[in-house]
Structure 1
Amino acid sequence: MSDGSLNLDDFGDLIERPDSGVRRDAEERRARTGLPAGALGRLDELGEWLAAAQGRVPVEPVSRPKVLLFAGDHDVASLGVSARPAGGAHALVRAALEGTSPAAVLARRLGVPLRIVDMSLDCDPDGLPEEVTRYRVRRSGGRLDIEDSLTAQEAERAFRAGMAIADEEADAGTELVLLGDISVGGTTAAGVLVAALCGTDASVVTGRGGGRIDDLAWMRKCAAVRDGLRRARPALGDQLRLLATVAGADLTAITGFLLQSAVRRTPVVLDGVVSAACALVAQRVAFRAPDWWLAGQASGEPAQARALDRMALDPLLDHGVTAGEGTGALLALPLVQAASALAAELPVRAAEPDGADGAGGSGQDGGRPGAAEALDAT
């Protein structure tokens, strides 16, 4: 990409799967701990996945996670498809910044930094910190049922913003990203993306959202997804055009972030239906990318269930949490950290020949590719 153009096909070449040789080494090390096979259940699988992602055995315990929330408003909310008022996402952002949202409370309790990126909030940017607003593309997004959410130029700008943020987090040493969104109308956009990519009808993917809307609002939402789906289908051959048509700046940035994070070998825990929908778009771009992601929780949204099934991602938790904003991913974090601690610290039964505990194909270090080796996000 030396000419600065954005070609999504490049991701298919740049994204590699986590190291399978290292994963085999992790499996062999686990077998030498003396614990019965299956005694740790899914924790074994998580530990081996982390080892492959890090490129090292034993795995490094996860000590530098971060919550990353992309924020935006969607004009489709003006149709009464959400339990929250249209243009109201900025109030949710302020609550998170003030530490009073569920995700902020959990992040504080778990000692995890929380970063919010405003992509398209419907408010004056001067009312929020500069580090929150510096990537903003526009104010709110077009009404997806009757018009494009973004222009082509705005979609590329949002996508590149997501890529740049992935590079920033990788360069800062973030070991695991807990990815979510703060949006009003975002689950409607997510439903359109999932219905389009899975080839299903609007009613199959339309859920009640984080605010658990009533039946009348659900019918309005279903109609909006149906109309958005009609507009999205012609764009299925061009994923950036699809995002511009119905996704909005926040979902477009999440998609760029997910792909570039896979390039940089940064593991990601997906939160709810919005991040799952963006992951499904990213899978269409690069089929190996989902190997870098975990599904933190089952939110109960039908579109999320469809998307995760298509990507063969099995949620770690299922507690019926619909709060969004990274809450489900945060709840899954202690499970991931427990898996990494066990994989790192359980002793093996007997001494092995030199190098037996070392990493496989990519070496003990594993290391992430530098920004210069990844897609240019500028």
Structure 2
Amino acid sequence: MIFLEKLLQVLNEIERLNVVSMHQMRKRVNNLTKPLGSLGRLEEIAVKLAGITGSVQPRVENKAIIVMCGDHGVVQEGVSAFPQEVTGLMMANFIRQGAAVNVLAQQAGAEVHVVDIGTLLTDLPEGVVQRKVRPGTANMAKGPAMTKEEAVAALQVGIDTAYELADKGIEVIGLGEMGIGNTTPSSAMTAVFTNHPAEQITGKGSGINDEALAAKTKVIERAIEVNRPNPGDAVDVLAKVGGLEIAGLAGVILGAAARKVPVVIDGVITGAAALAACRIEPRCQDYLFASHLSVEPAHRIVLDELGLKPLLHLDMRLGEGTGAALALPVIESALQLVAKMATFEDLGIPSPAPEEDEFGLAVQ
């Protein structure tokens, strides 16, 4: 299987964070003209970016948000407040620069790339990247959403997309998605990966009422019971209770990590993709930043599982990559501070940072 062989190649290219660069960045951060640790999470961001890129002067000036789009057969079960046609309409809206993610991405100086990996739309708006693996998934409440081969092909679409952006000079990638009904497979995947009951992690998604929420929870439970996805096999989980855009986003994470490009996840759908990517290759976790905490109940569970702390708390649940777009300037600010702040040495006064030996250990 050609796709599987290519996937294994990518996994072999993903490395651990560069501890030498991280140490050098920490030393620089500690010598800036401020009390130790006073810039909080911004200091952590700078150190992590040094580890990801292997550089003491990392850059995130060239930014992109990938909006993966796919349709879901489980919409037949009435899990969404919106009709399935909205997926296609929103793709056109992204191209017209009329969506929330467009506004926020423009403010952050980020490109928006819209990828059709699995919608039902046949006549795509000009500007949408056509990478369709199949036109929508099957109804996961009655059987697998897709085959394993299709899930691997969707992963490869994401990897290829990340590689193309890295080759263009993109230095940080934000994740976004569009697919009516996609909080349902995301919640199902989270339940499988974390062993939480569906009722604890299922949210109202696009805004369904309490009665529809109860029905949605039962659909997720039925999908897991019918398909029996193997939590130890992330591709099996993606195929049975996932989505094409979710698999594509997982592939973006794998590809970006292989190219040492940091990835900013958005809400619960991109979080489920991150869970899948990290189950395929745990080293991916080192390359992720959590942009915000969604009000979807599964999202906190996802972030806890990934060991990630959200940068923002804004009670958002839109998706599209809106949270990622908002977080990009925060991440860039961390590097601007490191690059432009004076050091204690510049002022000719002793640094409050402890002295270190040649191994980076504090000298008592």
TM-score (norm 1): 0.87
TM-superposed deviation, 1:133: 4.2
In the alignment, structure 2 segments of 5+ residues that lack a partner are 349-357, 360-364
TM-superposed deviation, 1:70: 0.4
- Contact 2:143 2:227 (C-alpha < 8 Å) held by counterparts: no
Q: Deviations over 1:139-198 (max 9, x none)?
A: 111111112111233222212111111111111111000101111111100001000011
Deviates more, 1:187-196 or 1:337-346: 337-346
Matched, 1:176 2:175: no
> How has the CA–CA distance of structure 1 residues 165 and 127 changed in structure 2, closer, same or farther, with 3 Å as cutoff?
closer
Distance in 1 between the 2:317 and 2:91 partners? 17
Matches within 5 A, 1:1-378: 5-6=4-5, 13-60=12-59, 62-124=60-122, 126-129=123-126, 132-209=128-205, 211-350=206-345
Number of aligned residue pairs: 349
AA partner of residue 162 (structure 1): G
Give the CA RMSD over aligned residues.
2.1
- Contact 2:11 2:254 (C-alpha < 8 Å) held by counterparts: no
Q: Deviations over 1:198-255 (max 9, x none)?
A: 111110110111x222112211211111112224534333322221112121111111
Q: Deviations over 1:245-286 (max 9, x none)?
A: 121211111111211211111100000101111111111111
Distance in 2 between the 1:98 and 1:138 partners? 25
TM-superposed deviation, 1:12: 5.3
Please state whether the residue corresponding to 2:128 is helix, strand or coil.
helix
Distance in 1 between the 2:228 and 2:199 partners? 16
> How has the CA–CA distance of structure 1 residues 157 and 8 changed in structure 2, closer, same or farther, with 3 Å as cutoff?
closer
In the alignment, structure 1 segments of 5+ residues that lack a partner are 353-359, 362-378
AA partner of residue 78 (structure 2): G
Q: Deviations over 1:9-55 (max 9, x none)?
A: 66654321221111111111112223101221211111111122222
- Alignment-derived partner of residue 362 in structure 2: none
> How has the CA–CA distance of structure 1 residues 4 and 107 changed in structure 2, closer, same or farther, with 3 Å as cutoff?
closer
Distance in 2 between the 1:5 and 1:40 partners? 43
- Contact 1:11 1:285 (C-alpha < 8 Å) held by counterparts: no
> How has the CA–CA distance of structure 1 residues 167 and 307 changed in structure 2, closer, same or farther, with 3 Å as cutoff?
same
- Contact 1:47 1:340 (C-alpha < 8 Å) held by counterparts: yes
Please state whether the residue corresponding to 2:260 is helix, strand or coil.
coil
- Contact 1:191 1:206 (C-alpha < 8 Å) held by counterparts: yes
- Contact 1:77 1:86 (C-alpha < 8 Å) held by counterparts: yes
Select the structure with the greater relative contact order (CA < 8 A; seq sep ≥ 6): 1
> How has the CA–CA distance of structure 1 residues 73 and 337 changed in structure 2, closer, same or farther, with 3 Å as cutoff?
same
- Contact 2:271 2:303 (C-alpha < 8 Å) held by counterparts: yes
TM-score (norm 2): 0.90
- Contact 2:3 2:153 (C-alpha < 8 Å) held by counterparts: no
Please state whether the residue corresponding to 1:350 is helix, strand or coil.
helix
> How has the CA–CA distance of structure 1 residues 220 and 133 changed in structure 2, closer, same or farther, with 3 Å as cutoff?
farther
